[in-house]
Amino acid sequence: MKSGKEKLYNSSIYSKITIEYVYNSKNMIDKKTFRKQQQLIIQTKGEDFFELSRLHAKVLKTTAWKKAQTIGLTLSTSYELDTKNLIIEALLSHKTVVLPKTLPDFQMQFVKLLPDTLLKKTSYGILEPDSKKIVSKEQIDLIIVPGLAFSQDGKRVGYGAGFYDRYLKDYRGITLSMADNKRYFKDAIWQVDKTDVTIKQIITTKKEFNCVTN
């Protein structure tokens, strides 16, 4: 292992950023360091409404969305691309929307969103449904997976707890993620772990990538 400083050019934000990095044996940036840097970039740059609108429009045109009857979506946090419009579109199209609910030991499950579903804030500061109407993963056709960064071959950086990687490791439906300019990378420049689950479709404002799964 070696550490140091390096100027990295992130074309998505049109600026040079000095970061502390730690290399592993494959010369990748340590994921913990990269995650902190991405959170800073996302927090600093904010969300582009027009870019988000284009991403939503592209998701709605995908075959996966059109065919799905039950869709897993998140109640987005400040570090995530806003999902409210997708939730509304799904409900207006008479699709079933399911939301994640965390469990002990970094596990999670999805529960059905209903008009009377109450929300509560977790110890992580995230809103989640206070409901026991569990929907099995076999019933979920499509899951929109959040994250801090994505490569065009489906590599993902989440938030470090591993909830989605654990849930998705035996999920057989379609996984799809939206990547704006701040979150999209042609190649993964971060450390990729064996437990990281590959996202099947990555949607950017310019292209849609169908990825090879694990």
Predicted confidence (pLDDT) at residue 199 exceeds the cutoff of 90: yes
Domain-by-domain residue ranges, the chain?
48-210
Predicted confidence (pLDDT) at residue 2 exceeds the cutoff of 50: no
Contact 174, 142 (CB under 8 A): yes
Contact 129, 123 (CB under 8 A): no
What SS3 class is residue 8? strand
pLDDT score for 26: 54
Contact 109, 168 (CB under 8 A): no
**Mean pLDDT lowest for which of 43-47, 72-76, 134-138?**
43-47
- pLDDT by residue (tens digit) across 137-186? 999 999 999 999 999 999 999 987 889 999 999 999 999 999 999 999 99
48-210 topology per CATH: Rossmann fold (3.40.50)
Predicted confidence (pLDDT) at residue 79 exceeds the cutoff of 90: no
Contact 55, 182 (CB under 8 A): no
Q: List the strands of the sheet with 149-151, edge to edge.
A: 156-157, 149-151, 184-185
Percent of the chain with pLDDT over 70: 86
pLDDT score for 1: 40
- pLDDT by residue (tens digit) across 26-71? 578 889 999 999 999 998 887 889 999 999 999 999 999 999 999 9
CA dihedral over 35, 213, 164, 117, signed as positive or negative: positive
What is the three-state SS of 28-91? Answer: CECHHHHHHHHHHHHHHHCCCHHHHHHHHHHHHHCHHHHHCCEEECCCCCCCCCCCHHHHHHHH
pLDDT score for 77: 83
pLDDT score for 212: 62
Predicted confidence (pLDDT) at residue 203 exceeds the cutoff of 90: yes
pLDDT score for 28: 80
The rounded mean pLDDT for the chain is: 86
CB neighbours of 193 closer than 8 A, spacing ≥ 6?
A: 31
